[in-house]
Amino acid sequence: MSDKYNDAIAASKVVEDDAAVSAAVAKILEENFDANNTPEVHKFLLNTVDLTTLNATDSPSSVAAFVERVNAFDEEHPELRNVAAICTYPNFAQVVRTVLDVSDVDVCCVSGGFPSSQTFIEVKVAETALAVEGGADEIDIVLNLGNFLDGDYEEVCDEMIEQKHACRDARMKVILETGALKTAAAIKKASVLALYCGADFLKTSTGKGYPGASLEAAYVMCECIKEYYEKTGTMVGFKAAGGVRTTAEAVQYYSVVKAVLGEKWLTNEYFRIGASSLANNLLSDILGEEVKFF
């Protein structure tokens, strides 16, 4: 069957062979990790963190306290750049926007039936629109995995496009849930579809229910972003999320992004890591003592 979705996938030359992807990642780390594992890179990585709280126990008061730590960081560590964003459930967008005093930290919300994407499209669109109205600068949605695995790419893309419209001026990050997709071939297909539906970022995982980020998934996603940029001139960001906890792990993702996409992507405008514990681990390594600031 020939249609615009399958045609876009077929036109991509990004590698699909899992063994080749693993070998490419191993080569990047062998050649670049040590050179990238520096205090300067650790400081940069802190500034890429989407500091995340996505708990059933979150409340307006707990989220407000979470935001206040980000406010306090600017005062207590003026020599360091703050985290990139605060990421919460959409019902807390207004809380974060109201409490946040730091101008260069964005408000990010998961949306669209996160983390399963299993709800009515009308609910997804409404949730996204309400989050943006509440003050979200960025919206993290989840690719409809069920429809994708069924091969119903038209439905998958229609949903993404509708949510993109609901984002208005907010940036849309599309979570591929790479731990459920598993193979390089499937991750490539999902990446191509998300890119052609207007994703502003490709994101690995929800961190809920399936294996989180992997360097192999990151490599394929970055190769798709690079190919899309070469075809369209549009820069799309990459976000690793789900299980990235240590400084060394963060440096590994940095190494892949730098090797595949280059220096232009080494800004928090185009590179993010979604995490709850990584910020403290990075800060501890930067300061040379264990710190639990956030």
Measured over the CA atoms of residue 272, residue 241, residue 39 and residue 265, the dihedral's sign is negative
Cβ contact 141:114 at 8 Å: yes
Q: For residues 134-173, b (16+ Cβ closer than 10 Å) or e, as one string? A: bbbbbbbbbbbbebbeeeebeebbebbebbbebbeebbbb
d(CA 242, CA 154): 28
Choose the catalytic residue: 124, 188, 203, 258.
Answer: 203
Pick the catalytic residue: 140, 164, 188, 285?
140
Cβ proximity of 206 and 142 under 8 Å: yes
d(Cα 175, Cα 52) in Å, to the nearest integer?
A: 15
- Judge contact between 156 and 148, C-beta under 8 A: yes
Give me the catalytic one of 188, 239, 258, 285.
239
Catalytic annotation on 239? Answer: yes
Instruction: Answer whether 256's CB lies under 8 Å from 218's CB.
Output: yes
Mapped to the 3 state alphabet, what secondary structure does 230-272 carry?
Answer: HHHCCCCEEEEECCCCCHHHHHHHHHHHHHHHCHHHCCCCCEE
β-pairing, 271-275 vs 106-110, is: unpaired
Which helix (H) or strand (E) segment holds residue 138: the answer is strand 138-142
| Active site residues per annotation | 140, 203, 239
